[in-house]
């Protein structure tokens, strides 16, 4: 067994970090408004609602309308944060996001919590594992999946300042803090968390912690693994991807998402064009999720640090 990073560090759910930073931003940014669809307790927008009741819009269980109202508010100068679970924000309201928000280039930030199978016991209906693909396919929409609490804070601050629509996927479960409180954050720029010469592990979201743990297991085998946090899935930091693929000659992607259309697909497209090296992708292979504990589900769907380390060994073997 590889060492579990989560046992060694502080843990915080990215949705909790979101709730905190929204209130902070609310103090300094009077143009920020927040909308939610009867999930404000879970998405943590409730904190903002309590602090700024006049700038919070409870839209009820009506996600399509919520996205449209957010668009209208944005058209009148507001920076609108619209939150729900990722399955509803990206699924139920996909076409509203595409046709009304993105096509009109409006300043709406869709921050969706409860992404991935780490939602756990609620089961497949509430485990969105397709949003990188569905949202990433929308022209101009930028897609972000931060890896821990501090990075979530930085990402939310960055999108609050940047113009135009964003989709941010956050999680329900507590995740280990793997970035420093004062780490830099630039939209569209990946972060080299660890260097290594034999293989590069590209990850986003909760899978970053898995990649870091996999790195320790690989070190025991004498393999040096670089770990890159690709928090921005779109636009992808193609230069960084090419750079580290060419330095190591073997690459792995890891994500809490179906294999088709997520981080793995995006990295594969970049590598195919700019630096073909053996690539192994860790993700969910064309299946729905199910109820269970997050750790059980990661084991079942092949998303653990061990799976990432195994994928790295395969990639390295293919290079040789």
The catalytic residue positions are 63
Three-class SS state of 297: helix
75 binds another protein (CB under 8 A): yes
65 binds another protein (CB under 8 A): yes
φ, ψ (nearest 5 deg) of residue 198: -100, -30
Query: Exposure pattern of 131-159 as b/e (b: 16+ CB <10 Å)?
Result: bbbbbbebeebbbbbbbbbbbbbbbbbbb
Residue from 19, 68, 136, 165 binding another protein (CB under 8 A): 68
- Going by the DSSP 8-state scheme, the letter that residue 99 receives in this structure is I
- Which CB sits closer to another protein, 82 or 212? 82
DSSP-assigned states of every residue in 119-145: G-TT-GGG-B--HHHHHHTSTT-EEE-
- Which CB sits closer to another protein, 121 or 137? 137
246 binds another protein (CB under 8 A): no
DSSP-assigned states of every residue in 148-211: SHHHHHHHHHHHHHS-S-EEEE--SSEEE--S-TT----TT--EEEE--SSEEEEE-TTHHHHH
Segment lying near another protein (by CB under 8 A), choices 8-16, 54-62, 188-196, 245-253:
54-62
Residue from 71, 135, 213, 281 binding another protein (CB under 8 A): 71
Per CB under 8 A, contacts with another protein among 264-283 are: none
- Which CB sits closer to another protein, 69 or 201? 69
In the complex, what is the shortest distance from the CB of residue 65 to another protein, in angstroms, rounded to a whole number? 4
Do the beta carbons of residue 89 and residue 115 sit within 8 Å? no
53 binds another protein (CB under 8 A): no
124 binds another protein (CB under 8 A): no
Euclidean distance between CA atoms 210 and 160, whole angstroms: 29
29 binds another protein (CB under 8 A): no
CA torsion through residues 48, 49, 53, 59, sign: positive
78 binds another protein (CB under 8 A): yes
139 binds another protein (CB under 8 A): no
- Number of residues engaging another protein in binding (CB under 8 A): 31
- Which CB sits closer to another protein, 37 or 315? 37
Residues found near another protein in the complex (CB under 8 A): 33, 54-55, 57, 59-60, 62, 64-78, 80, 95-96, 99-100, 103-106
């Amino acid at each position: 067994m590889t060492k579990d990073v989560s046992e060694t560090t502080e843990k915080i759910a990215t949705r909790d970090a979101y709730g905190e930073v929204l209130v902070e931003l609310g103090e300094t940014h009077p143009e920020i408004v927040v909308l939610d669809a009867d999930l404000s307790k879970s998405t943590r927008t409730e904190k903002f609602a309590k602090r700024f009741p006049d700038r919070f819009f409870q839209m009820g269980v009506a996600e399509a309308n919520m996205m449209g109202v957010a668009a209208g508010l944005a058209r009148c100068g507001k920076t609108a944060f619209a939150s729900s679970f990722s399955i509803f924000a990206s699924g139920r309201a996909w076409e509203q996001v595409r046709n009304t928000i993105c096509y009109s280039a409006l300043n709406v930030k869709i921050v969706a919590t409860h992404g991935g199978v780490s939602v756990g016991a609620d089961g497949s209906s509430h485990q969105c594992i397709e949003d990188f693909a569905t949202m990433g396919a929308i022209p101009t929409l930028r897609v972000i999946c931060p890896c821990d609490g501090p990075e979530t804070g930085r990402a939310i601050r960055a999108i609050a300042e940047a113009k135009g629509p964003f989709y941010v996927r956050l999680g329900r479960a507590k995740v280990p803090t793997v970035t420093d409180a004062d780490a830099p954050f630039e939209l569209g720029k990946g972060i080299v968390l660890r260097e290594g010469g034999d293989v590069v592990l590209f990850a986003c979201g909760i899978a970053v912690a898995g990649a870091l743990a996999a790195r320790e297991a690989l070190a025991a085998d004498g393999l040096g693994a670089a770990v890159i946090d690709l928090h921005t899935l779109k636009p992808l930091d193609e230069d960084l991807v090419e750079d580290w693929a060419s330095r190591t000659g073997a690459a792995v992607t890891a994500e809490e998402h179906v294999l088709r259309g997520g981080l793995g697909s995006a990295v594969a497209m970049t590598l195919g064009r700019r630096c073909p090296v053996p690539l192994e992708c860790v993700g969910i292979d064309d299946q729905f999720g199910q109820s269970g504990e997050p750790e059980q589900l990661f084991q079942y769907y092949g998303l653990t640090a061990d799976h990432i380390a195994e994928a790295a060994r395969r990639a390295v073997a293919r290079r040789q």
